[in-house]
Amino acid sequence: MKKKESAANVLYETAFAEYGSALEMLAACKQAIKVREVLGFFEHARDEYIHTKKFLSILKKQGKNLSNIIARKYKFVHIGALKKGYVSEKGYLIETKKMKDFVAYIYTNELIAEDEFSKILKYFEDDKESTDTIHSIMKDELRHHGMARKYFLKYYPFIQPYQLMIYKYREYLHNKGRKFYFKNFQILEKLFTPIYFSISFLVSLPLRLLNQREFSRINKNLMDISSKSLL
């Protein structure tokens, strides 16, 4: 993959990850009872929506350097967050995880995100505007990480640092696993697309023998046709 397309791909995936986080935080906000938590999750969701928008605006700029055929592949469609696994089909994390695990998830993922964004920066060494935007997003992620840490220390003071390390490495592995799954999916798609086309072509051959004039509705009284008719 060429560098420009590779940059578009990274921005595209990151925008989905940010959008997935925004939905997760909004779901948590809806379930929270304490005012401070409602406000905290709401502000976090708002930040993640802003991050999504910012990454998409960099992607839009990047799209101008790509051919139309390639740029089309990076059109952001919201449902992609579910299809790509950034949001689980089983439900939002606040619904499927215990509160302690949920906060540990935020704690570790904000760090992972900050780390991932530093890798994105290498694509935009000559673009000061995009670099500044990504730096400001990285600052936000560290702030989110700090907020989750504070929450942890307040409500789970007996948790050991090694337990947070375990959470962190589990999420690193999960993240790598998701990327690996998606890469495999892309390879399988490339392998199977010609097979799908061949099968569709073979299925279409006997259809050519059908007299399609039978299917014409012109000058036919549709009320005279049997209700079982395909017409």
Contact criterion met (CB below 8 Å) for 145 and 114: yes
Contact criterion met (CB below 8 Å) for 143 and 41: no
Structure tokens at 61: 């700029």
Closest Cα partner for 84 from 173, 4, 186?
186
Site string (70-89) toward Fe ion, x via CB under 5 A: --------------------
Minimum Å gap between C-beta 52 and Fe ion is 8
Minimum Å gap between C-beta 144 and Fe ion is 4
Contact criterion met (CB below 8 Å) for 66 and 5: yes
Q: Which of residues 157-196 bind Fe ion (CB under 5 A)?
A: none
DSSP H or E stretch at residue 64: none
Amino acid at 63: G
| 13 part of the interface to Fe ion, by CB under 5 A | no
Contact criterion met (CB below 8 Å) for 81 and 16: yes
Instruction: Select the residue interacting with Fe ion from 18, 26, 138, 151 (CB under 5 A).
Output: 18
In angstroms, the CA 44 to CA 28 distance is 10
Minimum Å gap between C-beta 167 and Fe ion is 16
Site string (100-119) toward Fe ion, x via CB under 5 A: ----------x---------
* Chain centroid offset of residue 8 CA: 14
Minimum Å gap between C-beta 194 and Fe ion is 39
Phi-psi map region of 85: left, alpha, beta (phi>0 left; psi -120 to 50 alpha):
left
Minimum Å gap between C-beta 117 and Fe ion is 8
| 145 part of the interface to Fe ion, by CB under 5 A | no
Name which of 142 and 225 has its Cβ closer to Fe ion: 142
| 51 part of the interface to Fe ion, by CB under 5 A | yes
| 54 part of the interface to Fe ion, by CB under 5 A | no
In angstroms, the CA 36 to CA 34 distance is 6
Minimum Å gap between C-beta 19 and Fe ion is 10
Contact criterion met (CB below 8 Å) for 60 and 52: no
| 144 part of the interface to Fe ion, by CB under 5 A | yes
Q: Which of the stretches 15-23, 67-75, 97-105, 190-198 binds Fe ion when contact is defined by CB under 5 A?
A: 15-23
Q: Which of the stretches 60-68, 143-151, 152-160, 185-193 binds Fe ion when contact is defined by CB under 5 A?
A: 143-151
Q: Which residues bind Fe ion (CB under 5 A)?
A: 18, 48, 51, 110, 141, 144
